A and B are shown apart, each in its own frame.
Chain A
Amino acid sequence: MSTKVYGSGADRVGVRQITPNIYWICHCAGAEAARLNRGFASDFARVNPKFDPEANDIIYSSYLFLDDKTFLIDTLGPAQHKTVLEALADLLGDRRLDYLWISHTELPHAANTAAIRRAYPEVEVLTVGGHDHYEVHGLGDAKQLDYGDRVELGQHSIEIIEPLFVDHALTQWIYEHNTGFLCPVDWALNAHNEHQCFRFMDEMEEVGYSAERFGHDVSITNCVVFAWLRWADPDQVVAAIDRFYDKYDIRIFAPSHTNVIRENLPQYLGALREAMRVAVTRDYGIVH
């Protein structure tokens, strides 16, 4: 396992190579996670004893495509404003950054847009189309993309696709046709403990993780991420997932907050499907 790490704790960023041309730029806090994230894992473990009570760390991901054109997905959060630039500088070398695509406007995804623009003034910022009022999100002059739009990088052809699950209204997902790379943004969030950082999902299996555990994690965390699921119909949700799986040949599953899944895709995607059914029907414990 080869990981280049920048910073520590709140600003820590690690870089892993997924394919010869796609890099995972990942923030997680390691030994600082329990303090920084205020120990949420023990609360989740009370809801579901199969949740690891030590898993206080959450992944925040950017992805960089190095092709004829270069393309960055999301910016990481405010605290990583220096380390994400250091990682980008090392990966890009003397190359320019051609595109920065913002999946949605929440700060863990878009906070460093201005800093990246300052470092790479020629970058074209891309975001979801069909809305107004981007200036209040700091994206007033971004180019707006619609579902079905493609960005051709050379060997990679990135398509903007309609998300199955959204929290923020201004959200898109991405599918890359040649590698089967899917970035479903906030969907499928899992957690990890301080001994499991910067691992691909197949490497998580070496330290006791599994598709079954992934399903348990998602069935809890996605009640928080997509709280509206409690008003949805579980059969309709699962049917929508099935249609999505039929439409896209997913070979690299690369969400914003999950270990990148590059092996055993059917097993993990199956667990994810069932986890969403469970998530819809859970007791959400809402305080009205």
Chain B
Amino acid sequence: MLRHVRDDLYQIGESVAGRDGWHEAVRVYVLLNDGCPLLFDSGSHIHRGAIMEELKTLLGDVAPGYVFLTHTELPHTGNIQAILEAWPETKLVASSAILPHVELPWWVREEQVLYGYAGTDEIYGGRHISFLDGILKDQPGTHWMYDAQSGTLFTADAFGYLYPGEADLKFDDELRVEVEWLRRYHESAFRFLPQVSGAKLLAEIDQVFDKRDVRVIAPTHGNAMRQDIDRCRDRFSQAIKETCQ
């Protein structure tokens, strides 16, 4: 479902509902970027029709310049085939830590893929995107990205949450994301958390936010958090403390 987040940032994508009624979002973010749109993840293949329709509604005749993949799991890469068929000149940008011949579909050509290196800042379609390591992640080749212009931090799986159906299309400022929702997601998605120190993890998260003016947190498995980032982080921290040692 297409929603405007702020500035030129939009959120599309759908969700899936579990047997127990909790929903999981599978989002795609789009920076319109003045004629060279930047996509972050491609959504699930099971939502292909809806996502492509939303993309075409949002972009019109303008082809996306780049699709940034936070990592290569199917919920994040499931529509790169449809996107590249619709817009063959679009490039993929993956983490330099992936091994493409085992992590990307076999039909992706080498010249279609660019690599982002943690610690670098590159210009894509005239816009600075910086790369950092995925701090909290499940797959090794996961990176987080930051768009300084909109203040958006793309956090892949981290900061996701499971939610009741009525929260499906609500941003945090419209229906508050509860600590329990964050905890449910993180204890399910990152099953190593009970084995680690929450204090050490959160200290690293603090470093990320201390270095940047983050005005939007954009998780793939939740809706964008666009207001009162400090309170969003507080709830995330509480969920982590309840899950970790």
Contacts and interface: CB of A to CB of B under 8 A. Distances in A.
Interface residues of B, number: 51
Contacts of A92: none
Contacts of B78: 136
Contacts of A131: 188
B64 to A, nearest CB: 22
Nearest to B132: A287
B189 to A, nearest CB: 5
A247 interface: no
A97 B222 CA distance: 39
A288 B102 CA distance: 27
Given A132-B19, A136-B78, A138-B45, A107 B106 contact: no
Residue with the greatest number of chain B CB neighbours at <10 A, chosen from A29, A107, A230 = A107
Interface in A117-147: 131-133, 135-138
Contact of B191 (A77, A166, A230): A166
Contact of B24 (A29, A133, A166, A171): A133
Contacts of A27: 102
Contacts of B196: 228, 231-232
Interface stretch (B51-59, B83-91, B197-205, B225-233): B197-205
A1 interface: no
Interface in A178-226: 224-226
Contacts of B16: 132-133, 135-136
Nearest to A29: B101
A261 to B, nearest CB: 22
A167 B132 CA distance: 19
Contacts of B103: 77-78, 106-108
Interface string B130-153: 011101011110000000000000
Contacts of A60: 102
B138 A232 contact: no
Interface in B138-195: 138-140, 188-193, 195
Contact of A231 (B19, B44, B197): B197
Nearest to A224: B140
Of the four ranges (under 10, 10 to 19, 20 to 34, 35 or more), the interface on chain A belongs to 35 or more
Interface string A29-48: 10000001110000000000
Contacts of A230: 200
Interface in B65-96: 72-75, 78, 96
A81 interface: yes
Contacts of A91: none
B197 A233 contact: yes
Given A77-B103, A79-B102, A81-B106, A138 B74 contact: yes
Contacts of A171: 191
A10 B73 contact: no
A2 interface: no
Contacts of A81: 106
B164 to A, nearest CB: 14
Contacts of B74: 105, 107, 136-138
A227 interface: yes
Contacts of A136: 16, 24, 26, 44-46, 74-75, 78
A288 B135 CA distance: 7
A169 B44 contact: no
B75 A132 contact: no
Contacts of A165: 192
B109 interface: no
Contacts of B192: 165-167, 226, 228
Interface centre among B26, B106, B188, B189 (most CB of A within 10 A): B106
Contacts of A286: 133, 135, 204
B30 to A, nearest CB: 20
A81 B135 CA distance: 32
Contact of A10 (B72, B101, B132, B193): B101
Interface of A: 10-11, 27, 29, 36-38, 58, 60, 77-79, 81, 105-108, 111, 131-133, 135-138, 165-169, 171, 224-228, 230-233, 236-237, 240, 286-288
Which 6 A-B residue pairs are closest in the complex by CB-CB distance? A132-B18, A77-B102, A231-B196, A287-B118, A288-B207, A287-B119
Interface of B: 16, 18-20, 22, 24, 26, 44-46, 72-75, 78, 96-97, 99-106, 118-119, 131-133, 135, 137-140, 188-193, 195-197, 200-201, 204, 207-208, 211, 244
26 contacts: A37-B99, A60-B102, A77-B101, A106-B103, A107-B73, A132-B18, A132-B19, A132-B24, A133-B16, A136-B74, A137-B73, A138-B74, A165-B192, A167-B140, A224-B97, A225-B140, A227-B137, A228-B195, A231-B201, A231-B244, A232-B195, A286-B204, A287-B132, A287-B133, A288-B133, A288-B208
